[in-house]
Chains A and B, each alone.
Chain A
Amino acid sequence: MNKRSFLLGLSIIAAVLLPFLPLLLWSVSNQWFYPALLPQQFGLRSWQYILSTAGQQITEGLVQSTSLALVTTCCSLTVALPAARALGLYCFPGKKAIGLFLLLPIIVPPLCVSMGYHLWFIRLGLAETFAGVVMAHLTFCLPYTIFVLWGVFTDYDPDFEHQARSLGASPIQVLVNVTLPMILPGICIAALFSFLLSWSQYLSTLIIGGGRLLTLPILLFALMDSGDRPVAAAVSLVFVLPALFALLVNAHFLGRQGMTGVR
């Protein structure tokens, strides 16, 4: 039984990591023509390009992407938590309409949303600023965050909070010791969604950021066009690794915590 679950785990890991193998091979190949199975010549040309010539841009992109994604995630959690609690715990007229309304940014093409924003953001002085781009990203992250947390709060029993209060806990103690531990797995998933969505935004960053904020996707998309597969593969790896890291940390955290607190 143990051996079987080990094999299962191994095959899952292989299924997740195997697609990265060609990327890794491409990034260290100097010559790779059909029909050879492996590169005919290995070399570090693409990594040299990324680390030396484009090094400054890539570092700037990494910092920019990470800080944007983190700030967006924090903002979206701050807004989404109260909203999801209200939607999950209370019944009020128009609840379904609000749910539909929240889905709008996902239904409307991102190009229309971004172009519409651009005009207004220029007038408000928000275009080409960090705050403006965060707001644009929030449009796409918020629906997902709210929907994930909405589900969490549907299964949430506020009586635990009342119980703690009646036992003499202060509101802050209730929040820290009762509410947060119970919804933490849900928060982790919502935060991950938000982080990854913001991390992979291209169009809205380009239009609202106007090139002042050079994130990794912008650098990656520009290079994807080159047909220089080794360079594109290397940039893709740089792009994927932090996201993969966030995913693994989250999975590890969730695995330890389990979903025990939810019900």
Chain B
Amino acid sequence: MKKTLQLVLLLLVISLTCQVDKTQAIDLHKASWDEIVQAADGQTVDWYMWGGFPAVNTYVNTYVAARLKEKYNITLRQVPVKDIAEVVSKLVIEKQAGKTSGGNVDLMWINGENFRTCKRHDLLFGPFADKLPNQRFVDWSKPSVYNDFGTPVEGMESPWGSAQMVMIYDTARTPEPPGSMAQLIDWIRQHPGKFAYPAPPDFTGSVFVRHVFYHYSEDVNLWQGEYTQKQFEKAASATYRLLTELKPALWRQGTTYPESPVRMNTLFADGEIDFSFSYHQAEASRNIQDGLFPPTVRSFVFDQGTIANTHFVAIPYNAADTAAAMVTANFLLSAEAQMEKAKPDVWGDFPALDITRLPRQQQQQFIDLPRGPATLSNQELQAHQLPEPPSEILIQLEKGWEQHVLKGR
């Protein structure tokens, strides 16, 4: 027993002495960019991000890590997590416990709901985005950039890339896919059991419900400005009514839903359902390349357009290596890093930059990028983009879906 006590005490002492207090030597809000780069020299950035995409993991751990080391002597340590919301709740608890410095999270890959939670609980460092030199290539007048799901960004996060929802189908099975939401609804009715969507609040399932909601909205742009609760109720109840009515025509008669987009992709690859969809315009090509989808798979967007949004990186209020996190965020926005990220065999993510602001030669490089066999052209995609509705609408739709469609009340 005495031995145990000694051991516990020893462990306590060791852990207490291990705590190193790192204080910021300079005030980063006032420092010049050169001073920030200097402060970042030798720091380690712990970047917490969703780790479920091997292509992104590879890009971050090889290309980005190597360049940061070589250019700024910054060590990048990726921390893959299952859901960034876990990290947000970690920060909420750290805030409660009064931990104001020396936090382990230096950078987070974030958007939408999680950003809103962070902003509401004051969990972020900033505003810092306007301090980054590469910010000049970003078009901040775009609604999907200055508003993150209806929450004003206000420099509290820095854009990293953007994504657009695309429908995925197999030309071998469905030679002529439905071109609009109305046609898709007809198709589902005519082919019972061959369509499924992940149950909200899954991110991808939720965006499908929003597309149905847009289908019943007279004007999609109405939700970006002032709208009345009555207008919302009208479109929302039509959405729930349709989805309830479609249930018997869904996969397994709608008694169950795929739990994630990944599960939907495997159902699609296994031939159980005939469509998949993704919040990532190059995913189909990527999956063909990795042998997860047959080579006959293609993607399409609805005539009325599909929802597009931006994903960001943010720095927590108590980050230990804030300067290095800022330098990293800036590097991620550089034309060079965005170019590498856009290559289909690397990741195939849309640039967060407005490429028309780049020097002509780099513009051409972006235009000349090869696309995967299943990826639509940038013009085609950009001509069919719809904005995200504000978070309040998103949350109400998710709750309403659960109440009316899932539980059938």
Contact = CB atoms under 8 A, between A and B. Distances in A.
A binds B: yes
B104 A210 contact: yes
Contact of B263 (A43, A135, A227, A231): A227
Size category of the A interface is 35 or more
Contact of B58 (A49, A130, A207): A49
Interface in A7-47: 29-35, 41, 43, 45
A122 B11 CA distance: 15
Nearest to B13: A131
A229 B269 CA distance: 12
Interface string A121-149: 01111101111101100000000000000
A82 interface: yes
B54 A228 contact: yes
Interface in B5-39: 7, 11-12, 14-16, 18-19
B266 A229 contact: yes
A225 B57 contact: no
A132 B291 contact: no
A149 to B, nearest CB: 15
A243 interface: no
Nearest to A231: B54
Q: Which of A33, A45, A228 has the most CB of B within 10 A?
A: A228
A101 interface: no
B72 interface: no
Contacts of A125: 15-16, 19
Nearest to A56: B61
A79 interface: yes
Interface residues of B, number: 52
Interface string B195-234: 0000000000000000000000000000000000000000
A128 B291 contact: no
A75 interface: yes
Main secondary structure of the interface of A (DSSP, over half): helix
B294 interface: yes
Given A30-B291, A78-B7, A223 B51 contact: yes
B93 A119 contact: yes
B332 to A, nearest CB: 19
B15 to A, nearest CB: 4
Given A119-B93, A130-B15, A227 B266 contact: yes
Nearest to B266: A227
Given A225-B52, A226-B53, 6 more contacts: A57-B80, A125-B19, A131-B14, A211-B81, A223-B80, A225-B82
21 contacts: A34-B271, A34-B272, A53-B62, A57-B78, A75-B7, A82-B4, A124-B12, A125-B19, A126-B12, A129-B19, A131-B12, A132-B15, A134-B11, A207-B90, A211-B48, A211-B79, A211-B81, A219-B51, A221-B82, A222-B80, A228-B290
